[in-house]
A = this chain, B = another copy of it.
């Protein structure tokens, strides 16, 4: 599939401590939607259990900004809803639940096609960011349901670890996030992982990636030392490693 038309905004988190839902990324989201002349959003609520409640919360935020929201769960034909979507917002929650629902409703290929071939903009947050990558292998979520595969939408060729956390020096809490990613990188052939701290987001346009938000990201590549890249950095090299 092509990547020239790709338009993605991938958030680490929908909430940052002390602020309301999506407010920390309000400017970036609004600039993104305006740039592509979006007026309607197709919301994907599958990562949480109560779709109606989740849709109300998301709708109230986007409506305040002037956008119309439809949730895919209210459509009788979700595949058709994807084909007609003007933009996607895939919300956070449990990544396993989200991916399983995308498979259950046969939405993997249609979403992939819309984004990569038709240039339909895609906003993901947390679990919605995980499923945009080649696999959900670097989610932090509990495996509360069993999806038919860990292979995800593959809108980009590298993994993301949302809510990336540095090790706490004072207590043990099982493996650190960095150790978990190192364990992943012992498996031959797996891609780099971007450790996306909570107030970070990636803006991907075709073959260009810009790091937005306020923090650095930590990038893990198999066989290399991790690297820090600061807000505003051009991370397009991540699209050229594969």
Which chain A residues have a beta carbon within 8 Å of chain B's beta carbons?
13, 15-17, 48-49, 93-94, 96-97, 126, 136-146, 149-150, 162-163, 165, 170-175, 180-181, 183-184, 186-187, 190, 198
Contacts and interface: CB of A to CB of B under 8 A. Distances in A.
B150 A17 contact: no
B174 A144 contact: no
A151 to B, nearest CB: 9
B16 A145 contact: no
Contacts of A175: 141
B137 A172 contact: no
A198 B149 CA distance: 31
A138 B126 CA distance: 19
Given A97-B183, A137-B144, 4 more contacts: A17-B171, A140-B174, A141-B180, A146-B149
Nearest to A50: B186
Q: How many copies does the complex hold?
A: 2
A136, A144, A174, A187: which has the most chain B beta carbons within 10 Å? A174
Given A138-B142, A144-B137, A49 B184 contact: no
Contacts of A174: 13, 126, 140, 162-163
A64 to B, nearest CB: 22
B163 A173 contact: yes
A165 B173 contact: yes
A159 to B, nearest CB: 10
A184 B144 contact: yes
B142 A172 contact: no
A136 B142 CA distance: 9
A164 to B, nearest CB: 10
Given A138-B142, A139-B142, A142-B138, A13 B165 contact: no
Nearest to A17: B172
